[in-house]
Amino acid sequence: MVIASAPGKVILFGEHAVVYGKPAIAMAIDKRIYVETNFAELTAPKSSIYDDKYIKQSINIVLKKADEMGIDCDRKIDIKIKNELPIRSGLGSSGALSVALIKSLSSLLGLDLNKEDIAKMGWEVERNVQGFSSGLDPFVSTYGGIIYYKDGHFQRLNIDDTRLNFLIIHSGENSSTKEMVKKVARLKTQFPKIVSKIFDSIEEITEEAVSIFKSSICDEERLGHLMSINQGLLESLGVSTPKLSSLFYESLKSGALGAKITGSGGGGCLISLYPSEIDTFTNQGFVSNESLIRTSIYKGLKYKGLKNGVKIEDLSRISDSWFTNQGL
């Protein structure tokens, strides 16, 4: 038996543009997906909670790798999953699931995969399921932390003694990455020069954010302004919704330095940046809007503790009651 886990993520800058070779900045979050794999004589009942396509593709790619390495596996695999992430929300649940499953199953089979192998295999899973993928989600879930990503290459952004105070708010609407990427692709086909300039502007915002992250003192106010500008460009691409737009303005009224969609849009989550000196939101008045409090997923999400990417879990601290059977 092997249990592995991988974190979800938020995209701070660059979604959609990253699909077309532009850079993006993403951050792991402190909510994870846990996957237990074990050999089984009989398969467990299937569940419809998760998209089986990601599970099956992850299994197939690991078995293919095992075959290439001369390791035979003709036994049935029992899979159990615990998910702390809301699905179809822009928080990278599919990427985290694939990465955690690849790590768990490959370790069960005795494959010695490094993080680069796992990230690239997770990327292949997304391409096989979606037909396209920037690769951002599986790389963040594999390596953790805050990363600058472009075309399968990444750079970790080390932020020392800086607290990034985020509120992640769920719109209550499901998000489909595949449909949103198709929607932007159609817009780009219709207005190629205009959309390309929008992507260029998103790239400039991302690069400006990198310079802030790399500076000795993180200018949170400037970072917040960049997030809001990025949101405006995402609005122009048509990937926001009335609910997300409303939450954006409510966040600013509640004291946020900036806010934007995280992920593909069309639903899912909004991420707002608040001043770092605020330790909690509700008892110091910075989020007085009750709708934000009710729909928030994580209050006061800090960078500290988010550096862990995919990892093998200590079996002694995990009980069977955590998991949902996913026999295949």
Q: What is the pLDDT of residues 302-328, one digit of tens each?
A: 444 467 888 888 776 666 666 655 444
Class of domain 165-301: alpha beta
- How does pLDDT run across 47-92, given as a tens digit for each residue? 444 447 888 889 889 988 888 888 877 778 888 888 888 877 788 8
> How many CB atoms are located within 10 Å of the residue 41 CB?
7
Average pLDDT, the chain: 82
Contacts of 244 (CB under 8 A, 6+ apart): 171, 173, 261, 265, 267, 268, 270
Sign of torsion, CA 20 97 100 65? Answer: negative
What is the average pLDDT across 154-161? 72
pLDDT at 56: 87
Residue 126 has pLDDT above 90, yes or no: no
What is the average pLDDT across 135-148? 89
Annotation: CATH topology of 2-157+307-325? Ribosomal Protein S5; domain 2 (3.30.230)
pLDDT at 68: 85
Sequence spans of domains, the chain: 2-157+307-325, 165-301
- How does pLDDT run across 204-233, given as a tens digit for each residue? 999 999 999 888 777 889 999 999 999 999
Both structure tokens of 189: 């086909």
- How does pLDDT run across 10-40, given as a tens digit for each residue? 999 999 999 999 999 998 888 889 999 888 7
Instruction: State the burial class of residue 147 (Cβ atoms within 10 Å of its Cβ: 0-12, 13-18, 19+).
Output: buried
pLDDT at 113: 92
Residue 138 has pLDDT above 50, yes or no: yes
- Kindly name the residue from 137, 151, 314, 320 that is annotated as catalytic: 137
Instruction: State the burial class of residue 224 (Cβ atoms within 10 Å of its Cβ: 0-12, 13-18, 19+).
Output: buried
pLDDT at 160: 55
Which residue type does 117 have?
Answer: D
pLDDT at 163: 65
pLDDT at 306: 67
Instruction: Tell me, yes or no, if 200 is annotated catalytic.
Output: no
Helices 93-108 and 115-130 pack at an angle, to 10 degrees, of: 130
2-157+307-325 shares its CATH topology with 165-301: no
What is the average pLDDT across 111-119? 91
Between 5 and 279, residue with greater pLDDT:
5
pLDDT at 284: 40
What is the average pLDDT across 252-270? 90
pLDDT at 276: 73
